[in-house]
Amino acid sequence: MRFIFRPPAGDAAGLLTLPWHEPLEEWKDDRLLEMPHRGISRHVVRFVEADGHIFALKEINERLARREYRLLGQLESMGMPAVAVLGIAVERGQHQGLELDAILVTRFLDFSMSYRYLFSNRYASFPEGKLVDAMVELLVRLHLAGLLWGDCSLSNTLFRPDAGSIEAYLVDAETAELHPTLTDGQRDYDIRYAAERVGGELLDLQAGGLLPEHVDPIGIAMELPQRYHALWDELTREEPIDPGDQRYQVTKRVERLNELGFDVDELELVTAEDGARLRVRTKVGVSGHHRAKLFALTGLDVTEGQARRLLNDVVSYRGHLERKEGRAIPETVAAHRWRAEIFDKVLGLVPEELAGRLAPAEIFHEVLEHRWFLSEAAGRGVRTTTAARSYVENVLPGLPDTLTPAATAQTDSGVDPLGDDGAA
């Protein structure tokens, strides 16, 4: 057996003693986990915990495994929203006279959920439009990067809460192809396929009684291409520029793209006989402006949406401190105090047994939302710590406890007959 992996090497070391010489479906090991929020897969997928990390193992043809390993590595280096690959196990020998397939190993995406899980618990209250928008944004980012997915579906996507919204991540890249650019025909193929698959998957949920009554599978499927084209046009269109108002128009275009969650890579002004036009090249990776700023100020590493929400609270707290102390306070000082006096105090109120329900930054975001509702009901401002205590007592215990493997991992004595796309 050969195990090819990406650094750090320590992450792979804990996996080397697994029974690689046996079919994945027949593995029996104390490190195997059963993940309740798993999706559906056409392959055998198992989860393993090693050295405090969770990994998803998918048994597939060696050629496909090597191809997906390389492609996921490329997407990771580009900063794309996709699961991170660790390695592949190949040349595993024979079992009952047949060559064993390779096993692709990916890192579990913390706090992620399948679309089935989204609709079977509290997150079914999310407007279905957010799920469509998440899928559309993912597909647009992949297309901007030159990736033809070829198998875009809800089953091949993972979703993660992000400050009241949802982020979508590519999971399965077996059929994907990376090109310098995509033609309109290639993009159209992906869009039409995605609409068909999404509609069919939601109809399947509806038949199983898992879809809220107000959700229309056909309507969502028809809406997906429309939203895709609207976002694609917003990101890639050329627009006329008035020379006398050039600075304002360029600034507004950049701000609009930032609001949509995209960063600008390059701006180009083209002058012709019919006037000047602005071209914008958008960065393909996930926007990281707010993440980088929050990390620099507080040391917190969160998602972009969460960072934007937390930075707003830092600004608000800075204003509160300046009014209270009657002096100007540097941003770095205010952020440091916010981390110690607000964020850490709020998270310190969360009992250990509830800490795995949501990511820490997502819990803080929900506390801020809860504070707003309490303030509206009381007709006055409610302190953040008061809102946090109320949230921990009345809201957080009602959330499902299966959003993170550490909270729900159990020894797996068998394989779900549906298989699983959890993170591979």
Long-range contacts for 338-341 (Cβ within 8 Å, ≥24 apart)? 338/298, 338/313, 338/314, 339/298, 339/299, 339/300
d(CA 105, CA 46): 10
Q: Is the pLDDT at 420 greater than 50, yes or no? A: no
Q: Which two tokens stand for residue 101?
A: 């397939």
Give the helix ranges, DSSP H, for 208-245: 217-236
Long-range contacts for 383-388 (Cβ within 8 Å, ≥24 apart)? 384/342, 384/346, 385/345, 385/346, 385/349, 388/345, 388/346, 388/349
Please, which pLDDT band fits residue 419 given cuts at 50, 70 and 90?
Answer: very low
pLDDT of residue 132: 86
Q: Which two tokens stand for residue 393?
A: 């007592």
As a whole number, the mean pLDDT across the chain is 84
Q: Is the pLDDT at 9 greater than 70, yes or no? A: no
> Are the CB atoms for 334 and 317 separated by under 8 Å?
yes
pLDDT of residue 342: 93
Each residue of 397-407: b (16+ CB within 10 Å) or e? eebbebbbbeb
d(CA 181, CA 145): 7
132 vs 266, higher pLDDT: 132
Q: Are strands 85-90 and 2-5 parallel, antiparallel or unpaired?
A: antiparallel
397 vs 356, higher pLDDT: 397
Please, which pLDDT band fits residue 174 given cuts at 50, 70 and 90?
Answer: confident
**Integer angstrom CA distances of residue 410 from 31, 32, 392, 424:** 9, 8, 25, 19
**Residue 67: half-sphere exposure toward Cβ, Cα within 13 Å:** 12
Give the class (CATH, top level) of 2-108: alpha beta
Count of Cβ atoms closer than 10 Å to residue 348 Cβ: 9
SS3 170: strand
Give Cα 418 distance to the centre of its chain. Answer: 23
- Residues of the chain with pLDDT > 70, as a percent, come to 89
pLDDT of residue 38: 58
Give Cα 133 distance to the centre of its chain. Answer: 13
Please, which pLDDT band fits residue 64 given cuts at 50, 70 and 90?
Answer: very high
d(CA 109, CA 398): 23
> Are the CB atoms for 338 and 364 separated by under 8 Å?
no
Ordered DSSP codes for 370-405:
HHHHHHHHHTS---HHHHHHHHHHHTGGGS-S-SSH
**115-236 domain in CATH 3.90.1300.10?**
no
Digit-coded pLDDT (tens) for 207-219: 988 887 888 899 9
14 vs 368, higher pLDDT: 368
pLDDT of residue 421: 45
DSSP state of 15: T
Q: Is the pLDDT at 388 greater than 90, yes or no? A: yes
Measuring CA to CA, which residue among 424, 422, 414 is closest to residue 29? 414
Residue with tokens 């998440």: 134
Residues 124-142, mean pLDDT to the nearest whole number = 81
> Are the CB atoms for 56 and 416 separated by under 8 Å?
no
Predicted model pTM: 0.79
Digit-coded pLDDT (tens) for 228-254: 999 999 888 888 877 667 777 888 888
pLDDT of residue 198: 92
Provide the residue ranges of all domains of the chain, joining segments of one domain with +: 2-108, 115-236, 239-282, 303-405
404 vs 138, higher pLDDT: 138
Digit-coded pLDDT (tens) for 282-301: 777 776 778 888 999 999 98
d(CA 260, CA 170): 19
d(CA 264, CA 72): 24
**What is the Cα Rg of the chain in Å?**
23
How wide is the angle at C-alpha 162 spanned by C-alphas 160 and 164, nearest 5°?
115
SS3 277: strand
**Residue 161: half-sphere exposure toward Cβ, Cα within 13 Å:** 24
d(CA 340, CA 326): 21
Please, which pLDDT band fits residue 403 given cuts at 50, 70 and 90?
Answer: very low
Measuring CA to CA, which residue among 347, 344, 375, 374 is closest to residue 359? 347
Please, which pLDDT band fits residue 106 given cuts at 50, 70 and 90?
Answer: very high
Residues 6+ apart with CB under 8 A from 28: 19, 413
